[in-house]
Amino acid sequence: MMNQKSLNHRRHDEGSLPQSMEYSPKPTKPWNNWLRPVDYLLREQRIVFVLVGMVLASVFFLWQPDFLSANHRASAHLHHQVVIDRAPILRSAQIAKIPLGLKRIPKRVVVTGGAGFVGSHLVDRLMERGDSVIVVDNFFTGRKENVMHHFGNPRFELLRHDVVEPILLEVDQIYHLACPASPVHYKFNPVKTIKTNVVGTLNMLGLAKRVGARFLLTSTSEVYGDPLEHPQKEEYWGNVNPIGVRSCYDEGKRTAETLTMDYHRGASVEVRIARIFNTYGPRMCIDDGRVVSNFVAQALRKEPMTVYGDGKQTRSFQYVSDLVEGLMRLMESEHVGPFNLGNPGEFTMLELAEVVKDTIDPKARIEFHKNTEDDPHMRKPDISKAKALLGWEPKVPLRDGLPLMVEDFQQRIFGDHSSASLGEDN
């Protein structure tokens, strides 16, 4: 009750304030307020000191007109010198990918078909270079013995896997070699061969797209079929039978090239394409139906060397180390391809048989058999593109490389004890 009275009392007091205590706006400044700064300058002769300073500055710059221009020239000279000094650095940075004094950064590389003939030699070079290598192989034609010397190395992994099934790996580069390459093997299961070429290539291209890896496809000279152009350039589209017994391999590789280029154009995958011509060397399958391995194995076993047809069909033979060098140069280059990788030295089958006889057994005999279906009559690469853009050409002639292959075959066929007997027979 008292609170209510006091509140009413205060409200009554507030309403009865005199008019003199009510709010009023701030009075406006007098009209002569702008004269105060002028008055400040005039007081104590401040304006005189300002004028004297301006006069002194004017006299100084009039008497020494070169002061500003000299400073400007010095500044411009310094800037020009800095630009000139930096120019070699900028040029060298554009030319050299890796600055001098810095080691190459090791890469993580997957090699499909890495336990095979060519793949195992490629793995050797990559390991020697310091890379970490994952070999993916289903061992249809590959052999563990080809890569056993890397077991225990922490930078080496071996996976039994078929590329027709997807796989996920974190890698920087993919060398896709997986596919049976000899007639005996790719004709054994032609449907599996074309699945490897198409589905396997799709899976590895998908992996390259997902992880941002650079992809190299090892295609083949068989994409030229039975060529009407000699020697064969990369621009030649080929003459291939699409329904023949070799088509699972020939057309499979042609489709693999198509997929590779479509991933490059459509998904911006970094790709490289190599077209490999006939290659020989240690670790080839002994009875794979390819002419060099056939002749060597037959001559070592004292069997007649089988020549199909009249023996006048031609081939070009490169040693495996030359091919591996070409593949690595292509992978590290900035060129997509395709590139022919082969030795332009051309031999007829009869000439090759004579070289094998000279190397192994001059008494070796030759037997002629009916030629196989769709066997190309001529095969010789034009490697001018690889020479110009990759700086690559084969170094090992046939007569130098063949004895190295013979030594490997001799050991695998007969064992170590046969070296002496071979020398006695010759």
| Residues marked as catalytic | 249
Q: Of 162, 158, 159, nearest to 178 (Cα)?
A: 162
- The span from the CA of 207 to the CA of 112, in Å, is 12
d(CA 129, CA 279): 23
Structure tokens at 385: 């593109």
CA-angle at 414, arms to 410 and 419, nearest 5°: 55
Whole-angstrom distance, CA of residue 75 vs CA of residue 277 = 63
Evaluate whether 281 touches 319 at the Cβ level (below 8 Å).
yes
Residues 219, 279: Cα–Cα separation, whole Å: 13
**Crossing angle for the helix pair 247-267 and 201-211, nearest 10 degrees?**
20
Residue with tokens 């599996």: 192
Q: Is 281 left (phi over 0), alpha (psi -120 to 50) or beta?
A: left
| Amino acid type, 250 | D
Task: Report d(CA 218, CA 323) in Å as an integer.
Answer: 11
Q: Is the torsion defined by CA of 70, 71, 75, 81 positive or negative?
A: positive
Quote the tokens at residue 270: 């970094």
| Amino acid letter, residue 149 | H
Q: Sign of the C-alpha dihedral, residues 238, 243, 245, 246? A: positive
Q: What is the DSSP letter of 58?
A: H
Alpha helix ranges (H) inside 130-236: 183-188, 190-195, 201-211
Nearest alpha carbon to residue 299 among 410, 404, 401: 410
> CA-based Rg of the chain, rounded to a whole angstrom?
41
Nearest Cα to Cα of residue 275 among 173, 186, 379: 379
Cα–Cα distance for residue pair 370/309, rounded to 1 Å: 5
